Structure 1
Amino acid sequence: MSWLRALKETAHSGLTIERRRLEPLVAIRGAAGLALVIGVSLAFFGPVVAASSAFGAFQAAIATFQRSWRPRPVLALVSGASLAGSTFLGYLTASRPVLFLALLVLWTFLAGLAWAAGATGGIIASSNVAIMLVTVTLPTSVADSAVHAAMILFGGVVQAVLIVLFRIRRWGAQRDALADALAAEADYARRLRHDPLALFDPVPLMTARSAAAVTPSQARRRPPELRGSRAVAERIRPVLASLADPAMGVPDEGPERDRVRELLGAAGSVLDSAARAIRHGDPVKLSPSAVAALKTPDTGSLLTGPPRRAADRLDTLLSDVIETAEGEGTKAEKAEAGRAAEDIRTAGKGTPEVPHRRRPTLPRMVPVVARAMRAELRPGSPILRHAVRVAVVVAIGYLIGTALPFGHGYWAPMAAVMTMRPDFSQTYERAVARFGGTIVGVSLATAIVRTVHPGVTSSAVLAVCCALLMYLLMRTGYVVGQACVSAYVVFLLGMAGDNWSQTVPERVVLTLVGGLLAMVSYAAYPAWETPRLRGRLGDWLKADGRYAAAVVDQYAEPVERGHGDVRSALLATREARVAWQEAVAAAQHEPVRNRGLSRSATADAEHALAEFGRAAMLLEAHLPRGGATPVPEASALAEALRRATERGAKEVRERRVPDWAEVREALARWDAQPRTGEGGDDPFVRNGAGLLLEALEEFSRGLDGAPAAGPPDRRPGPHPG
């Protein structure tokens, strides 16, 4: 992609405004906390201290809007405390420009490394640096700066207390994550009715897994309906795929396929009902037709073999979902849901509650974050490049802002640190959006100031109104939020005594300077994803191979091994797949020459690996239990898959096309074995192994640029031996 096109697309994306679900009660709570802090500060300390405390309360509320599974009060307290400490340390060195610049560079570098701990930590750290640049200019003595820091902390405490006192959708983020996972599986079930080979994006399940980790205190207070449903949902996905796939035994048309479609439709309805109940904390309300479809005895007469086992497991898992999602409600409602679950259940027992995933407390997170940041101190790390880039840009921006005759030179470095992100697209999008939002916000605030001439109290009220709009509309687009922030700062500094005419022209010009520095820095010292695409693809191939090998190996030794290695391999392949997809999305807008993967090769390779993972998932859906007859040939195939995919990943990174001769030879030896009538699911496993090889060969054809072969015959047939 050319630079001109990249700039055009990122600018368009940055200025885009989306229609998103608003959270007015949360916005009102944040604005009320801000108003309370400003009011107390004005009454006891005056407008200058009120401005500092307002920045603390404002930033603490913004921190609670970030995507995090930690309690919102904790985020508010962390934001307020870190900003207070930054402000106090900054003021101690503010009278010595060289020392302050050194502290600013160090603080900014650490804020850049904080992205290693996740987006929430990176955003809070970057915001602290930006606001510190403003707040260090307000105190006049060390004692005064201590008061300012204390009031900034007070702002974070007030926001945390309000969150505790006025709960709005308690556990709402976790409810949404779990409900989204169940809704995604419901949609998947419906799509399988029309496309038996439909693919499933595991991101909702990954998000739900992340949300399910809780601290010890959270574990004691977690609602019952959030315990266990995710684990059941994880097991439903492969069962749905196994039931629908023609390779597992159900023909493309006929009474068996009609029955499968009916079961899939009923499963989608039940999963949707559970998702709605969990999202809103309501009782589960099932469709009578869905319950009747799952209860009918036709399944036993129409389906046999793997499809019959999949249908039985689906019945059991759906009943477990209903019972878990019912968590709360009246005794009658629970009894009704229990009867519906019992009606659906046709075999087996309910799944016992899975021990909760542990999330470390904040004190225990400190060494974890430190290790993550230290791990990024290596050549080639995108996070390290971002930290170096943003630290240099902030230093240059601060020197330029100080040298220009505008005053308030902190606007340039503040704009830069708030704009810059570790990837190209977000940095350029935010730079354009920040400049556009600044012009709109400052212009509107200026017009109001010229017309109304507000005093201290009026300026405070206007600032709170701008913050309310920011909290309400911040998810609709960065340009909208930036317009509200710009007006907020103008009114707040006006309340503190800054004349509006001093801030309007300088803020626009210096914001432009900061944005341009951010954009130039990424062009001069980039961290492109495009050259790393082959590495990401190789990582995904290697992870997929380990997952498939772990699954196949279970058939060779079903008695001696548990399924822990399969689960860990599945999680690894999901992470590798998401890392690949994020890299492709980031590289799509980069102005970088293609480095060995064309768009068609990228799409073909991605589809082939998704099919490979799907074939392994079908085998996972029917893993043998203890006492099942082993399939000895599966052991050699598992080892061949493991070695071949590791070697293939290396070949992908070296721009070569992998060859799967070792896997073909393992299957040929399997086919050459004489049939003894033993081996349990041997034809079923051999058929699944053939699907794995087909997907690997399709992967190589896609990388080689060869025309795709016709669709393979996915119908089950007699064993090749």
Structure 2
Amino acid sequence: MSWLRALKETARSGLKIERRRLEPLVALRGAAGLALVIGVSLALFGPVVAASSAFGAFQAAIATFQRSWRPRPVLALVSGVSLGISTFVGYVTGTHLALFVLLLVVWTFLAGLAWAAGPTGGIIAASNVAIMLVTITLPTSAAQAALHGAMIAFGGVVQATLIVLFPIRRWGAQRDALADALAAEADYARRLRHDPVAHFDPEPLMVARRAAAVTAREARRRPAELHGSRGVAERIRPVLASLADPAMGVPPEGPGRDRVRELLAAAGSVLDAAARAIRKGDPVELPAPAVAALRTPDTGALLAGPPLRAADRLTALLSDVIEAAEGDGTRGERAGAEAAAEAIKEGTPHHARPGLLRLVPVIVRAMRREAHHGSPILRHAVRIAAVAAVGYLVGRLLPLGHGYWAPMAAVMVMRPEFSQTYSRAVARFGGTLVGVFLASVIVQAAHPHTGSLAVLAVACALLMYLLMRTGYAVSQACVGAYVVFLLGMAGENLSQTAFERVLLTLAGGLLAMISYAVYPAWETPRLRTRLGDWLKADGRYAAAVVEQYGDPAARGHHDVRAALLATREARVAWQEAVATARLEPVRHRGLSHGAADATQHALARFGRVAMLLEAHLPGAGATPVPGAADLAEALRRATERGAKAVRERRVPDWTPVREALEHWEAECAEHEAAEGPGSAPLVRNGAGLLLEALEDFSRGLTP
């Protein structure tokens, strides 16, 4: 993609406004907390301190809107306290230009590295640095700076307290994540009726897994509906695929296929009903036709072998989903809490998440892993630190006053990715142009007093909380007006015109865009590495599944589970890299769009075959399939070598896998003649499909 086209696409993306579901009660709670903080600060300390505390309450509320599975009060407290500390330290060093610039560089560099802990940490850290550039201009002494910092932290405490006292839809984010996963599988079941090899995006399941991570204390308080449903949902997906796929034995047309379509439609209806119940906390209302379709005794007469086992397994799993989603009201919550407490007492593992204090070493380790030259996170940290320092110095040198508008804009728009940085820069400029202009016109024309400015600031914050999901440009228009009203309330010199403020914002946005062009972190050259990682993860997953057939008693299903999670992460990383690379003004380096599409399709098919085999994993007492362990080892080694070849821009060779498969088929044929078929035909068929997918992968890479 050329630079001109890339700029046009990112500008269009930044200015896009979407219709989203609004959350008026949440927005009203955040605005109420802000109004409470401003009112208390005005009554006790005056308008200048009120402006500082308002920034703390405003940012703390914004932090709670970020996509995070941690309790919202924790996010508000962390945001408010960290901003208060930053304000105090920034003011103390602010009288010495060199010392403050050094502090700014270190602070923003750490804020950039905070992206290693996830987008929520990176956004909160960057926002705190940007707001600090404003708040340090308000105090007049060290004691005043301490007071301002304390009141900023107080704003975070107020927002956290309101969340605790007035909770809106407890565990709502976790409910939505689990319900989305079940709804995605319901849609998948319906699509399988018409396309037996339909694609399934595992991201809803991954989001639900992240949402299910809890501390031991949270596990005791989690609603009953959120216990166990995710694990059952994970097991349903391969069963659905196995039931629909013709490779498992059901012909493309005929009575058997019609029965499979009925079962898939019924599964979709049941999963939708469970999703609605979990999302709203209501009892499950099962549609009568779906229940009748699942209970009909005709399945055994129409299906046999693997499809019949898949149908029976599907019915059992759907019953488990319904049972898990049935928890309702106080009785259900009490039962869920008792079950969780009993499970914790017995040592039953749950998907654990480290507490806030234990999270610190985890974040430090994540930052250390990014400390290498090719890391996009490290490059982002270097860029944002350099731009913040340059923007601050440029703002001081320009005779426009309030020079912090330039570095504040730069820090707020910068992201580790090219497209996000450029789209947000355009949106920031457009939104600020509208917001600052309107607010400045109101201030210059009406000359509102302190109380009126406070009311206007709270109104802008309310609009921002309400509309922030609709588009970045909309939210920045509200933020620009909010800052103008708040600084006017603090008695700041309002002689600076809207044109000058917008000009400084434009300067900051341009600095951010130039920094990415000078010191980029393109995703396009790393596509082969991402593809190799996905191939390696897929190979380990397939090897773990085949190995289970070779020795069912000695190995546990946790090996397969760990390999499956790894391949999902690798697949999503590849898809995100491809989406990012398509918007970059960089020519492909060894991997064209056609090759990317072909190899992605082949690897998706490879993973699907492994999933079909997983759906029929034998129990501990089943007869081992001879030679399966050797084939699994051949798959693992070949895909590891293939991943290395992809990274080195070579085409992988699958001759060792083909030879191992031929030898293994001969061994299985001898065993079947003596012992009977068992599971060997199913695994042999699946292994052949795995080899075909690998060969298609190599053909996709061939020029």
TM norm structure 2:
0.96
Judge which range, 534-543 or 652-661, deviates more: 652-661
Please say if 1:574 is aligned against 2:568.
Answer: yes
Match of 1:700 in 2: 698
State yes or no: 1:645 paired with 2:639. Answer: yes
**What SS is found at the alignment partner of 2:316?**
helix
Residue deviations 1:475-520 (CA, integer Å, cap 9, x gap): 1110000000000001000111124331523221111111001000
| Residue number in structure 2 paired with 1:179 | 179
Aligned to 2:499: 505
| Distance (Å, rounded) in 2 between the aligned partners of 1:149 and 1:3 | 44
> Residue 689 in 1 paired to residue 687 in 2?
yes
Matched residue type, 2:689 = L
Cα distance in 2 between the residues matched to 1:217 and 1:631 = 44
TM superposition shift of 1:678: 3.3
What is the percent sequence identity of the aligned residues?
A: 78
Contact map agreement 1:490 1:503 (CA 8 A) in 2: no
Whether contact under 8 Å (1:69, 1:173) holds in the other structure is: yes
Distance across 2 between alignment mates of 1:80 and 1:194? 53
Secondary structure of 1:476 counterpart: coil
- 1:630, 1:679 within 8 Å by CA — same for their partners in 2? no
Indicate which of 558, 570, 579 corresponds to 1:564: 558
Return the alpha-carbon distance in structure 2 between the equivalents of residues 655 and 40 of structure 1: 64
Tell me the residue number matched to 1:66.
66
Deviations 1:23-45 (A, max 9, x none): 00000000000000000000010
Instruction: Indicate whether 1:447 and 2:438 are aligned.
Output: no
Q: Distance in 2 between matches of 1:141 and 1:84?
A: 15
Contact 1:80–1:154, Cα closer than 8 Å, also in 2 = yes
CA–CA distance in structure 2, aligned partners of residues 77 and 678 of structure 1:
65
Match of 1:535 among 497, 512, 529: 529
How many Å separate the matches in 2 of 1:392 and 1:583?
A: 26
State the alpha-carbon separation in 1 of the partners of residues 459 and 477 from structure 2.
13
Q: Tell me the equivalent position of 1:118.
A: 118
What does residue 319 of structure 1 align with?
319
How far, CA to CA, are the matches of 2:61 and 2:118 in structure 1? 19
1:20 corresponds in structure 2 to 20
The residue matched to 1:526 in structure 2 has which SS?
coil
1:489 matched to which residue of 2?
Answer: 483
Deviation at 1:447, TM superposition (A): 2.5
| Equivalent residue in structure 2 for 1:394, among 388, 404, 416 | 388
Aligned length: 689
Contact 1:640–1:663 at 8 Å: present in 2 too?
A: yes
Cα deviations across residues 113-149 of structure 1 (Å, max 9, x unaligned)?
0000000000000001000000001000111011100
Match of 1:418 among 409, 412, 431: 412
Matched residues in 1 for 2:283 and 2:451: separation?
A: 48
* Matched residue type, 2:437: S
SS of 1:17's partner is coil
Relative distance call for 1:41 and 1:520 in structure 2 (3 A) is: same
Cα distance in 2, alignment partners of residues 89 and 575 from structure 1: 40
Counterpart for residue 710 of structure 1:
none
Could you tell me which of 365, 368, 389 is aligned with 1:374? 368
Give me the whole-angstrom Cα distance separating, in 1, the residues matched to 2:470 and 2:402.
30
> Equivalent residue for 1:548?
542
**1:662-692 CA deviation, whole Å, 9 max, x = no partner?**
1111111123232324351111110011111
Distance 1:687 1:300 in 2: 23
1:619 paired residue among 601, 607, 613: 613
Task: Return the alpha-carbon distance in structure 1 between the equivalents of residues 450 and 331 of structure 2.
Answer: 56
Q: How many angstroms apart in 2 are the aligned matches of 1:330 and 1:491?
A: 46
Q: In the alignment, is the contact (CA less than 8 A) between 1:227 and 1:353 conserved in 2?
A: no
Q: 1: distance between equivalents of 2:552 and 2:468?
A: 53
Match of 1:193 in 2: 193
> Which of 616, 620, 626 is equivalent to 1:632?
626
CA distance in 2 between partners of 1:365 and 1:142 (Å): 32
Give the secondary-structure state (helix, strand or coil) at the position aligned to 1:501: coil
Q: Are the aligned partners of 1:130 and 1:417 in contact in 2 as well (CA < 8 Å)?
A: yes
Cα drift, residue 329 of structure 1: 4.4
Q: Deviations over 1:390-414 (max 9, x none)?
A: 1011111111100011111111111
Equivalent pair of 2:440/2:497 in contact (CA under 8 Å): no
Answer whether contact 1:558 1:630 (CA < 8 A) is retained.
yes
Counterpart Cα distance in 2 of 1:397 and 1:84:
22
Q: Please state if 1:403 is matched with 2:401.
A: no
Shift of 1:445: 1.0
Q: CA–CA distance in 2 between the matches of 1:595 and 1:237? A: 36
**1:252 is aligned to 2:246:** no
Alignment of 1:281-300 (within 5 A): 281-300=281-300
Structure 1 residue 327 displacement after superposition:
1.2
Between the aligned partners of 1:578 and 1:239, the Cα distance in structure 2 is: 22
- Partner SS for 1:406: coil
Deviation at 1:293, TM superposition (A): 0.5
Cα 1:354–1:610 change in 2 (3 A) is: farther
TM-superposed deviation, 1:353? 12
Q: 1:412·1:512 contact (CA, 8 Å) conserved in 2?
A: yes
Which SS does the other structure have where 1:475 is aligned? coil
Alpha-carbon distance in 2 for matches of 1:97, 1:31: 36
Question: 2:281, 2:448 → 1: CA distance?
Answer: 46
- 3-state DSSP class of the match of 2:81? helix
**Correspondence list, 1:41-190, <5 A:** 41-190=41-190
Partner AA of 1:122 in structure 2:
G
**3-state SS of the aligned residue for 1:190?**
helix
Q: Is the 8 A contact 1:94 1:100 kept in 2?
A: yes
Contact in 2 for aligned 1:181/1:205 (Cα 8 Å): yes
> How far did residue 307 of structure 1 move?
0.5
Of stretches 369-378 and 495-504 in structure 1, the one that deviates more from structure 2 is: 495-504
Higher alpha-carbon deviation: 231-240 or 675-684: 675-684
Aligned counterparts of 2:500 and 2:81: Cα–Cα separation in 1: 30
Aligned to 1:672: 666
Please report how far the alpha carbon of residue 703 of structure 1 lies from its aligned counterpart in structure 2 after TM superposition.
1.2
What CA distance in whole angstroms lies between the structure 2 residues aligned with 1:620 and 1:249? 16
Change beyond 3 A, Cα 1:639–1:679: farther
Matched, 1:655 2:655: no
- Classify the secondary structure of the residue corresponding to 1:139: coil
Partner of 2:338: none
Could you tell which deviates more after superposition, 588-597 or 676-685? 676-685
Question: Unmatched 5+ residue regions in structure 2?
Answer: 335-345
The alpha-carbon deviation at position 355 of structure 1 amounts to: 3.7
SS in structure 2 of the partner of residue 109 of structure 1: helix
Give the distance between the partners of 1:425 and 1:190, measured in 2 at CA.
35
Distance 2:437 2:501 in 1: 11
* Partner AA of 1:537 in structure 2: L
CA offset digits 1:631-654 (Å, max 9, x no partner) = 112112111100110000011011
Q: Deviations over 1:370-395 (max 9, x none)?
A: 11112211121111111011101111
Per-residue CA distance 1:101-120 (angstroms, 9 max, x = gap): 10000000000000000000
User: In 1, distance between residues paired with 2:322 and 2:612?
Assistant: 24
**Structure 1 residues not aligned, in runs of 5+:** 335-351, 706-721
